[in-house]
């Protein structure tokens, strides 16, 4: 590396770590004094009599009840993509894409997919609506999180077009698919499908809390409001507060996904 050149990514790392300055930057000495005083320095470098209070972190080290406000921005990315287990998840940008190369002295990503694929999951379709247009995507990285409050989450890849939409709306609905919904699962996992009229001809009902589409024959259905969004590598972990829930078809049998194929209960 040429002398004097800053390593790539250093600026981004500094932004991700509040209070850390690049060596030689303007205000470096003042920033160091501010860091040692816990942020309680005024513009002249003097200790503030009333430093700003700090929020207590949660058990993961995040500020308590961290919420990420939805942001409206245009659709980006190359469309919907398959998740590491082989079924569609949601996507985003702003981070380098996973190259699939083996980490130094680490497991092979392809072997990771094979091993993780032996964890059987259900299959859901997550839906939301933006500017009067319904959006949907097949997901198998979905789970319950908490009883108090009622929370669930799904993981969304950072390059799918659904990602920015669901963050912008701040609300979403989940339809747990049954064995008869394999075609729907495949359709909502198809790259480059038209956005307009994705749900045309499908039996859906509008949720009473959000007005979002839910599959009429689903094994289970939930309406959610975004509670928090966490960094999950090449995915975002979207946590939602459950607003309503129900069982549209009590007789429906769940659609399962195992080792890259659909399965059913025996």
- Considering the domain architecture, whether residues 124 and 181 belong to the same structural domain is answered as yes
Instruction: Report residue 65's pLDDT band, with 50, 70 and 90 as the boundaries.
Output: very low
Distance CA 68, CA 54 (A): 18
- Considering the domain architecture, whether residues 7 and 88 belong to the same structural domain is answered as no
Whether the per-residue pLDDT at 152 is higher than 50: the answer is yes
- Considering the domain architecture, whether residues 8 and 120 belong to the same structural domain is answered as no
- Considering the domain architecture, whether residues 97 and 40 belong to the same structural domain is answered as no
- Considering the domain architecture, whether residues 21 and 92 belong to the same structural domain is answered as no
User: The domain spanning residue 233 has which CATH number?
Assistant: 2.30.110.10
Asked if residue 202 belongs to a domain, the reply is: yes
- Considering the domain architecture, whether residues 100 and 182 belong to the same structural domain is answered as yes
Token pair recorded at residue 94: 């702003």
Can you tell me the mean pLDDT for 103-115?
Answer: 87
Asked if residue 233 belongs to a domain, the reply is: yes
Last residue of a domain, one of 54, 73, 90: 54
For residues 178 and 196, the model is more confident at: 178
The three-point CA angle 126-221-258 to 5° equals 65
- Considering the domain architecture, whether residues 50 and 94 belong to the same structural domain is answered as no
Total number of domains constituting the chain: 2
- Considering the domain architecture, whether residues 96 and 195 belong to the same structural domain is answered as yes
* Residue 31: how many other CB atoms lie within 10 Å: 17
Show the beta-strand stretches assigned E in the chain.
81-82, 88-89, 121-122, 124-130, 133-139, 142-147, 150-157, 171-176, 204-206, 213-215, 220-232, 235-246, 255-258, 261-264
pLDDT of residue 54: 47
For residues 83 and 205, the model is more confident at: 205
- For residue range 3-41, list pLDDT tens digits in order: 444 444 444 443 444 333 333 333 344 444 444 444 444
Distance CA 250, CA 197 (A): 28
Whether the per-residue pLDDT at 221 is higher than 70: the answer is yes
Last residue of a domain, one of 54, 70, 96: 54
In terms of C-beta distances under 8 Å and separation of at least 24 residues, what long-range contacts does 24-27 make, across chains too?
Answer: none
Q: Is the pTM of this model over 0.75?
A: no
Whether the per-residue pLDDT at 161 is higher than 50: the answer is yes
Asked if residue 17 belongs to a domain, the reply is: yes
- Considering the domain architecture, whether residues 100 and 31 belong to the same structural domain is answered as no
- Considering the domain architecture, whether residues 135 and 241 belong to the same structural domain is answered as yes
Lowest mean pLDDT of 99-113, 169-183, 230-244, name the range.
Answer: 99-113
Token pair recorded at residue 172: 């979403």
- Considering the domain architecture, whether residues 38 and 100 belong to the same structural domain is answered as no
Can you tell me the mean pLDDT for 139-151?
Answer: 97
Name beta bridge partners: 176: 124, 220
Whether the per-residue pLDDT at 89 is higher than 90: the answer is no
Quote the domain boundaries for residue 129: 81-264
For residues 186 and 22, the model is more confident at: 186
Asked if residue 68 belongs to a domain, the reply is: no
């Amino acid at each position: 590396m040429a002398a004097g050149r800053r390593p790539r990514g250093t600026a981004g790392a500094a932004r991700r770590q509040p209070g850390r300055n690049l060596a030689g930057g303007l205000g470096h000495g003042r920033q160091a004094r501010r860091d040692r005083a816990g942020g309680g320095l005024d513009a002249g470098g003097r200790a503030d009599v009333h430093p700003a209070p700090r929020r207590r972190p949660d058990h993961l080290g995040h500020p308590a009840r961290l919420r990420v406000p939805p942001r409206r921005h245009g659709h980006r990315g190359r469309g919907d993509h398959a998740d590491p287990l082989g079924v569609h998840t949601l996507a985003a940008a702003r981070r380098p894409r996973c190259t699939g190369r083996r980490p130094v002295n680490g497991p092979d990503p392809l072997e990771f997919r094979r091993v993780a694929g032996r964890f059987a999951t259900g299959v859901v379709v997550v839906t939301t609506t933006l500017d009067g247009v319904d959006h949907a995507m097949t997901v198998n990285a979905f789970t319950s999180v908490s009883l108090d409050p009622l929370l669930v989450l799904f993981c969304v890849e950072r390059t799918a077009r659904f990602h920015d939409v669901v963050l912008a709306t701040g609300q979403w609905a989940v339809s747990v698919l049954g064995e008869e919904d394999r075609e729907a699962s495949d359709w909502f996992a198809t790259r480059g499908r038209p956005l307009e009229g994705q749900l045309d001809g499908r039996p859906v009902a509008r949720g009473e809390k959000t007005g979002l589409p839910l599959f009429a024959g689903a094994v289970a259905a939930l309406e959610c409001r975004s509670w928090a969004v966490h960094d999950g590598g090449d995915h975002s972990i979207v946590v939602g507060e459950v607003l309503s829930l129900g069982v549209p078809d009590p007789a429906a049998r769940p659609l399962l996904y195992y080792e890259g194929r659909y399965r059913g209960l025996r």
